[in-house]
Amino acid sequence: MKVVCPVCNKLFEAECTPYKTVYNEIMYYFDTEICQIAFSREPERFIAKCEKK
Ligand SMILES: [Zn+2]
């Protein structure tokens, strides 16, 4: 499954990364640990542009 890192917008395979976080019942995948940490610090900053409601 191809996913986009919400922090750096890089496309990658979700199965290839150990970095994932559930936030507001949505699973977010990250290409690097750095991106995951950045997201966990300020999730609102990164999900605003990705939300589809
Ligand atoms: Zn990233």
- The Cα 42–Cα 47 span in angstroms is 9
Domain membership of residue 40 (yes or no) is yes
pLDDT over 90 at 37, yes or no:
yes
pTM for the whole thing?
A: 0.83
Domain membership of residue 13 (yes or no) is yes
pLDDT digits (tens, 9 = 90+) for 6-32: 999 999 999 999 999 999 999 999 999
> Considering its fold, how many domains does the chain have in total?
1
Domain membership of residue 17 (yes or no) is yes
Backbone angles phi, psi at 34, to 5 degrees: -60, -45
| Cα 48 to ligand 1 centroid, rounded to whole Å | 16
| Cα 31 to ligand 1 centroid, rounded to whole Å | 5
Query: CA angle 48-51-53, nearest 5°?
Result: 130
- The Cα 48–Cα 42 span in angstroms is 11
